[in-house]
Amino acid sequence: MKNLLTMTDLTKDDIMKIITKAQDIKENGAETFGKGMTVANLFFENSTRTKCSFEMAERKLGLEVIPFEISTSSVQKGESLYDTCKTLESIGVDALVIRHSENAYYDTLQGLNIPVLNGGDGSGHHPTQSLLDIMTIYEEYGYFEGLKILISGDIKNSRVARSNADALTKLGAEVMFSAPEQWKCNFSDVPYVEIDDVIEEVDVCMLLRVQNERHDSGTTFSKEDYHNAYGLTIDRYNKLHDNAIVMHPAPVNRGVEIDTSLVESSKSRIFKQMENGVFIRMACIHDVLNHKEEKVKCHL
């Protein structure tokens, strides 16, 4: 693939190709790139998991990681995203990983001739998070057709919900949303349900972080009220069937989206998701850089 921007761009076969590649890397390691190939990570929003996971993936692939800090760059002088990216392309960077607060920021980067991997755009898309979630589910079940997957929480502001709803539905899963009325958003045909009506039958219970920074006037819930109404309480956890798993893209607001004691419970796959994130990002970087190299060879 030339870029990785949204899950909508990927077919079912594309998704499974990446998952298979990531599993192979997890089991057998990956072929590294030659000396001198470089990647720059441009994170205009705070990040721990995605940024560190991409950097770990890049280093495991033998890539040089160009230091880039927004706070000390010409962005502070008013430089546009396009000009920043074009500058990095011009000095020889081979690929860019970008997280930005603006939805679909990548639409402004059509003039670039190097790959872009989307590390999250506003409340739009987060393809590598979706892919690592899919990999984690696939490791657990080995299939998607007919799986019942509940995504509960701040749907309106969640790029994870958008990416996963699209991809998991495409793969044949039955996806459901649960959310407070003010955090619902009809960006897909996924139905809204009450968490207590379906908790006993779901195969995957995926909690979403309450994104207070994206709320115009803050949350209307106390932590306790939200947890009791929409979070994974101990009582709801105990109603999950024996083979069900619990997921969360993190960072986790403990005691809000999920009871603190359940974060590392036997059904939780939260830290497994983080582990799989490195392998997924290695697979994605491998794909876009190999596509770039093949294109250059064909041109020559």
* Residue 49 marked ligand-binding: yes
DSSP 122-170: TTTB-HHHHHHHHHHHHHHHS--TT-EEEEES-GGG-HHHHHHHHHHHH
* Residue 209 marked ligand-binding: yes
Of 6, 21, 26, 50, the active-site residue reads 50
Cβ proximity of 18 and 287 under 8 Å = yes
First to last CA, the chain: 20
Of 17, 38, 49, 219, the active-site residue reads 49
126 is catalytic: yes
286 is catalytic: no
77 is catalytic: yes
Q: What is the dihedral of CA 208, 213, 215, 217, to 10 degrees?
A: 140
* Residue 295 marked ligand-binding: no
* Residue 129 marked ligand-binding: yes
* Residue 57 marked ligand-binding: no
Of 11, 72, 77, 297, the active-site residue reads 77
* Residue 236 marked ligand-binding: no
Of 26, 99, 156, 286, the active-site residue reads 99
Cβ proximity of 227 and 233 under 8 Å = yes
The closest of 227, 196, 235 to 209, measured between CA atoms, is 227
Q: Which residues contact 225 (CB under 8 A, 6 or more apart)?
A: none
| Cα–Cα distance, 112 to 106 (Å, whole number) | 10
Both tokens of 231, joined, read: 């979070």
Question: Residues comprising the binding site for carbamoyl phosphate?
Answer: 49-50, 99, 126, 129, 250-251
Please enumerate, by residue number, every residue annotated as part of a binding site for L-aspartate.
77, 159, 209
User: Binding-site residues, please?
Assistant: 49-50, 77, 99, 126, 129, 159, 209, 250-251
Which residues carry out catalysis?
49-50, 77, 99, 126
